[in-house]
Amino acid sequence: MPITLDGTSGLTSPAGTFSGAVQASGVATNLYPLVSGTAVASTSGTSIDFTGIPSWVRRITVMFNGVSTNGTSNLLIQIGSGSFLTSGYGSSSAYTGTSVGGTNGTSGFLATVSINASNTLSGASIIYLVGSNTYVSTGSMIYDSVSPISFVMSSAGVRTSIGGALDRVRITTVNGTDTFDAGTINILYE
């Protein structure tokens, strides 16, 4: 039985469980859930990995809550299909506040710029599938341990042809050796 909307009171047919394709305004599309990962304490180690991401995923949000490392190397997000890709990105990150600056990178999607080991960071980076295994990212981050907030960071990047469906995301640092020492990191995917 088809489900229809009457424009004022919502569904005119009973709610139920759906699977497969749905016809919406003449366009067939699949329904996929919004899935939350399990928050990982970013209190040790040099990287946080999320693996087992389903092949149907088109957008991943990486969420940072009070994250800190023991150094000043920028946070970096790497993606992959079967293994993590550590080169071939085009990424930039910039900040505004009491001063202005920025940096570029090719080893992953930059999430921060000009970080300080004594500060914690919160924010999100979103990774989108925009073409045949081509992904772009955009994000925003703040120092949440500084009052008033003195720096707002934004980032963007692109990674073309990852060789298959994205199935993993890694959060690390540009130098790969700074250790996480505070906060949590989680992902949402859809």
Where do the structural domains in the chain lie, given as residue ranges? 33-189
Q: What would the pLDDT profile of 75-121 be if each residue is shown by its tens digit?
A: 999 999 999 999 999 998 888 877 788 888 999 999 888 788 888 99
Q: What would the pLDDT profile of 132-155 be if each residue is shown by its tens digit?
A: 888 999 999 888 766 656 567 788
Say what the pLDDT of residue 60 is.
97
CATH of domain 33-189: 2.60.120
Q: Who has greater pLDDT, 148 or 7?
A: 148
Say what the pLDDT of residue 6 is.
47
Q: At 82, which amino acid appears?
A: G
Classify each residue of 114-124 as buried b or exposed e, where b means 16 or more C-beta atoms within 10 Å of its C-beta.
bbeeebbbbbb
Q: What would the pLDDT profile of 29-56 be if each residue is shown by its tens digit?
A: 677 788 888 899 999 999 999 999 999 9
Cβ-based neighbour number of residue 143 at 10 Å: 23
32 closest CA partner among 3, 57, 61, 15:
57
Q: Which residues, listed in sequence order, are joined to residue 67 by a DSSP beta bridge?
A: 121
Say what the pLDDT of residue 114 is.
78
Q: What would the pLDDT profile of 150-178 be if each residue is shown by its tens digit?
A: 567 788 888 878 889 999 999 999 999 99
Highest mean pLDDT pick, 22-26, 68-72, 101-105 = 68-72
Say what the pLDDT of residue 37 is.
86
Say what the pLDDT of residue 142 is.
85
